[in-house]
Amino acid sequence: MVNPSSRQTHLINVYLYRHLVNASIMTAGLAFLLWACLVIPVSGQGNTCTNLDNVHHLERSVQVAGSTFLVLQAEGIMTCAAHCLNRKRCRSINFSIQSGLCQLNEDAATSQLVNNSSFVFSDISRWPQRLVGVCANHDCSQFDVCRSRANWTAQAPCSLDDKVRRPTSCADVKLCTGSEEDGEYWIFLEQFDGAPRRLFCHGMNETTPKTFLTLSTPNVGVEPNIRNHKCKGEYVHGQRKETTYRKIRLNETTLAVDIEDATFAEVVGQPLRYGQAQDCYSEHDNGVLSACGLKGYFFIDLSHTGFVVSEKQKWKTYGWLPLALVNRTEGGAVVNVQCGGFCGGCTPDGNQLLLDLNRSEDLPQLNATLVRCL
């Protein structure tokens, strides 16, 4: 026989258990409904299901102006925030509660807010990183997007952000910005998978600006004014020539250097072309180095620029009994050119110097302007 008091206690426990289970189900259902409302648009009604009252750290009826670098269509404000968190360049979002338009911004300064009744603004630093799964606190570069996938558990997968419109030339920079200011810009080389390189745009106030590569160290060519005919003794003759290049003219489509352009070169005597070496020191019979050697040289150093001299590049000799010695090091980033004759020398074949990308080099984060092209 069951004790009445025990039976009463049992019924109360069953009631409380069922009540708690029902409450849990309701809570889970409400949580799912809230999530669905935040990310899933109602057909034909834009994103009216989004309940912004449940999303804190929003500023209503405003958007940050002048720093949007990418516009996307998002399924909800959480999706918009995830797009931003996946990009290191993104600092804030503008989200249209009517159309689902998601604007990613480089700036989060509230001083730049302007009124717009259809938008809300949010500083992305206030959103939880767990929203992007394996991409949480990723270390992708400012040019990349972290692509989160549920089955990726290793290092966050970074790849070039193909949704962003980028300048592919200095002319493109001018078109995107309207700027007439010369300077260093990030250019994305269209013929080379959009690889970013830091290039100097010169003549931005002209119709077609020119592209130059800034060298990390001066590149110098020297033709000395000494001779040693038949290696019988040195004597001074003529004028010493020296050309120091600080920047070189580059075709961003072919990666060919204009070796004649000395716009950013310091010249003593007559200029030497980029990569040219010559002297009037001694003869080299039958292409054999004379006992007293070569004195003309050009030192190429492309370290820290993201480029190397192409392996296809050759040098051609000229003059009387000339010889050329070309030594490539650092994978072609450094090339020491020694040439001479009586008089003679060498110059890059094809009257241009071909470069290749140095994909193994980590580019230093030097100061350069990252242009917005919408």
Measure the CA–CA gap between 266 and 116, rounded to whole angstroms: 54
Among 363, 249, 257, smallest CA distance to 305 is for 363
Q: Is the pLDDT of residue 273 over 90?
A: yes
- Please list the residues that pair with 348 across neighbouring strands: 315
Asked whether the beta carbons of 291 and 318 are under 8 A apart, the reply is no
Arithmetic mean of pLDDT, 11-38:
40
Bridge partner residues of 166 (DSSP): none
Name the percent of the chain lying above pLDDT 90: 72
Q: Say how many residues make up the chain.
A: 374
> What is the model's pLDDT at position 362?
79
Computed over every residue of the chain, the mean pLDDT equals 86
Tokens found for residue 95: 């989200």
pLDDT over 70 at 7, yes or no: no
Domain with CATH 3.50.4.10 in the chain: 52-160
Do 200 and 184 form a contact (C-beta atoms < 8 A)?
A: yes
CB of 40 within 8 A of CB of 94?
Answer: no
Task: Report the pLDDT value the prediction gives residue 17, as an integer from 0 to 100.
Answer: 43
Distance from C-alpha of 103 to C-alpha of 80, rounded to nearest angstrom? 8
CB 101: neighbour CB atoms within 10 A? 18
Token pair 């206690």 in the structure block, residue: 9
Asked whether the predicted pLDDT for residue 195 surpasses 80, the reply is yes
Give mean pLDDT, residues 278-304. Answer: 96
59: number of Cβ within 10 Å: 16
Q: How many CB atoms lie within 10 A of CB 134?
A: 17
CA atoms within 13 A on the CB side of 318: 9
Q: What is the rounded radius of gyration, in angstroms, for the C-alpha atoms of the chain?
A: 33
Instruction: Determine the Cα–Cα distance for residues 300 and 245; give it in Å rounded to an integer.
Output: 9
At the fourth CATH level, the homologous superfamily of domain 52-160 is: Hepatocyte Growth Factor (3.50.4.10)
The answer, yes or no, to whether residue 15 has pLDDT greater than 50, is: no
Question: Which pLDDT does position 121 carry in this prediction?
Answer: 96
What is the arithmetic mean of pLDDT over 286-304? 96
Strongest mean pLDDT among 149-153, 178-182, 333-337: 333-337
Q: Coil, strand or helix: which one is 52?
A: helix
Indicate if the alpha-carbon torsion angle 28, 34, 39, 42 is positive or negative. Answer: positive
pLDDT tens digits along 128-174: 999 999 899 999 988 999 987 645 555 668 998 989 999 999 999 99
> How far, in Å, are 225, 271, 277, 315 from residue 343 at the CA level?
11, 16, 11, 17
Beta carbons of 282 and 310 less than 8 angstroms apart: no
User: Please, what is the Cα angle at 302 between 300 and 307, to 5 degrees?
Assistant: 130
Cβ-contact 94, 70 below 8 angstroms: no
